[in-house]
């Protein structure tokens, strides 16, 4: 794709015609949402939104993941953290998340999420808040962090329905692109090698519609949902998420903390997710892995 690239450390930003592409670029960490990456993501989105020549934004991830979620090493309070410090950290994290998702929804320029590979936790939430989501056939979604006491997103229930959301929110189970399409949280599923081509083709179709029509119709749905209570639901979610995270010293998850202390993130994930395998969908649905 032609277009000048801007200089970011954790994202790649490129322009091609009326379409900007923002690529999360920490492939060695499965595009985990560090503070730096998330800050640059929103800077890049603002950069595109401020350019009248850009009429649509494609958001995707480098490597084998869209995003594996928030960077675990940055989010876990230290062992010596006081209760007050733990609450402050988790409230800051929860409010920052809500502000990030709201920012995507309130941009005047439509965002098309092109989801490749793993799309978990906070990465899953960014796919939910994008205006349109296209998934590759190898995409895998989920919120496995709830198994260690964490929170979900109200957007999941809004888009998928209460029953569907609870099926996966209350287990942390992974699900594949076909299930995501069935529940209505992605618009379509395409072969992996056609993902970006399809996303850019759709972005180009959006660019053919008058800019004011796109901007105002996006505002009608976004602000309509907020007027119906979405913003208040997000604010309540931030406080409840803080309580969920702060409950992480529960005796039910002490073994997860011990696994992390002894063996790092890999040992933590094995202790958390091992008992749930095979998963309903995605690579870990196979019993031979």
Catalytic positions are 145
117 within 8 A of 66, measured Cβ to Cβ: yes
Q: Tokens at residue 222, please?
A: 């976004």
Selection from 148, 142, 130 nearest residue 169 by Cα: 142
108 within 8 A of 127, measured Cβ to Cβ: no
The DSSP annotation for 24-60 comes to E--GGGTT-B-HHHHHHHHHHHHHHHT-TT--EEEEE
Task: Look at the alpha carbons of 192, 193, 199, 205 in this order and tell me if their dihedral is positive or negative.
Answer: negative
Cα–Cα distance for residue pair 174/142, rounded to 1 Å: 4
Q: Tokens at residue 44, please?
A: 């890049």
Find out whether the peptide bond into 278 is cis, omega within 30 degrees of 0. yes
Dihedral through CA 235, CA 120, CA 8, CA 3, nearest 10? -110
Looking at residue 280, the DSSP 8-state letter turns out to be S
Label the pairing between strands 175-176 and 140-142: antiparallel
What is the arrangement of strands in the sheet containing 175-176, beginning at the earlier edge strand? 65-67, 118-120, 140-142, 175-176
Q: Tokens at residue 101, please?
A: 């998702």
């Amino acid at each position: 794709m032609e277009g000048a690239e801007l200089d970011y450390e954790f994202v790649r930003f490129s322009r091609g015609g009326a379409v900007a592409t923002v690529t999360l670029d920490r492939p060695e960490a499965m595009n985990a949402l560090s503070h730096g990456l998330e800050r640059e993501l929103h800077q890049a989105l603002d950069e595109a939104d401020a350019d009248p020549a850009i009429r649509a934004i494609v958001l995707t991830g480098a490597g084998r993941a869209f995003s594996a979620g928030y960077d675990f090493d940055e989010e876990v309070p230290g062992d010596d953290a006081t209760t007050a410090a733990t609450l402050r950290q988790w409230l800051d994290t929860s409010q920052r998340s809500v502000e990030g998702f709201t920012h995507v929804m309130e941009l005047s320029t439509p965002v098309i999420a092109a989801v490749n590979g793993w799309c978990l936790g906070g990465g899953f939430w960014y796919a939910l808040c994008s205006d349109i989501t296209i998934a590759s056939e190898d995409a895998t979604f989920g919120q496995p962090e709830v198994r260690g006491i964490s929170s979900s997103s109200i957007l999941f229930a809004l888009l998928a329905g209460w029953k569907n959301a609870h099926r996966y929110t209350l287990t942390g189970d992974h699900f594949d692109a076909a299930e995501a399409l069935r529940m209505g949280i992605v618009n379509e599923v395409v072969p992996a090698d056609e993902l970006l081509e399809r996303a850019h083709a759709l972005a180009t179709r959006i660019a053919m519609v008058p800019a004011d029509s796109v901007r105002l119709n996006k505002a009608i749905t976004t602000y309509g949902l907020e007027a119906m209570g979405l913003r208040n639901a997000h604010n309540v979610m931030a406080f409840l998420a803080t309580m969920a995270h702060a409950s992480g010293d529960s005796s039910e998850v002490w073994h997860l903390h011990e696994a992390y202390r002894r063996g790092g993130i890999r040992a933590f994930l094995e202790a958390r997710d091992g008992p749930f395998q095979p998963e309903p969908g995605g690579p870990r649905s196979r019993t031979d892995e």
